[in-house]
Amino acid sequence: MSKPLSRDAVKLAAMATMACNHFALALMPYATLWREVLVDIGYFTAVTMCYFLVEGYRYTRSRKAYALRLLGFGVVAQPIYLAALGVNQLNMLFTLFFCFLLIWAMDAFAGRWYRYPVAAALVLVTAWCDWPVLAAGFTLLFVVCGPLGRRWTGACFVMAAALFFAFNYTNYAAVGWEPAAAACHAGWSCVGILAAGAVILFLYNGKRSAFGLRHPRLSKYFFYAFYPGHLALLAVARLVLMH
């Protein structure tokens, strides 16, 4: 049976789940059920973007242009990101920029003694970004294990979910949650990552376009522009509701 989803279709799903996450974080009351549900749905996005970042590195015509697009849109999105979500960190496009540099360094410095110190430094830089350290960890998983085949790609998503579980469980425990409650909430937070793995493994066909996004440049820039665009709408909504 043929797989129905192209790269753009999976990216559209990732954009939709990210919008759910950001909507909940920006506009919904803390500690409500639907806020938690929408936030957890959004965890589909980061690991999917890391997967496509590694794939994009292999196929891009210009790695320099790819990196500069991530950086440029990250700079544009930063004040909007701060206004929409009210968090003191760099946005996800900066995270993906450093992750792209990480892939590049692992490739360019293969066999050199400084390969791993440079990689470690780039991982640490993401500590000031959205998805701190974790996104870089996901990226490394796909760099190392992805080329080994389908089973290893599935293992990457399982390991990514395990890392996220450990991260969330530690955070919940640190603020005094009971172990069972911490484990339950940390477990539910991993569903989006596992769903992303299922979509990539069983539904993604490796082709480029769907849903009318058939021009490569239109498709490319739509996904970059969506990030600051949807955050701008949330920032305006947040400003209106606060007044």
Find the angle CA(137)-CA(91)-CA(242) to the nearest 5 degrees.
135
User: pTM to 2 decimals?
Assistant: 0.93
| Rounded average pLDDT per 10-residue block, the chain, 243 residues | 87 96 94 92 97 93 95 98 95 98 95 94 97 97 81 92 96 92 94 96 84 58 93 95 76
What is the distance between the alpha carbons of residues 50 and 118, in angstroms, rounded to a whole number? Answer: 19
Question: What pLDDT sits at residue 157?
Answer: 96
Quick one: pLDDT at residue 219? 67
b/e per residue, 179-190, with b = 16+ CB within 10 A? eeebbebbeebb
Residue 194 and residue 160 in contact, taking contact as beta carbons nearer than 8 Å:
no
Which pLDDT belongs to residue 220?
74
> What's the confidence (pLDDT) of residue 57?
94
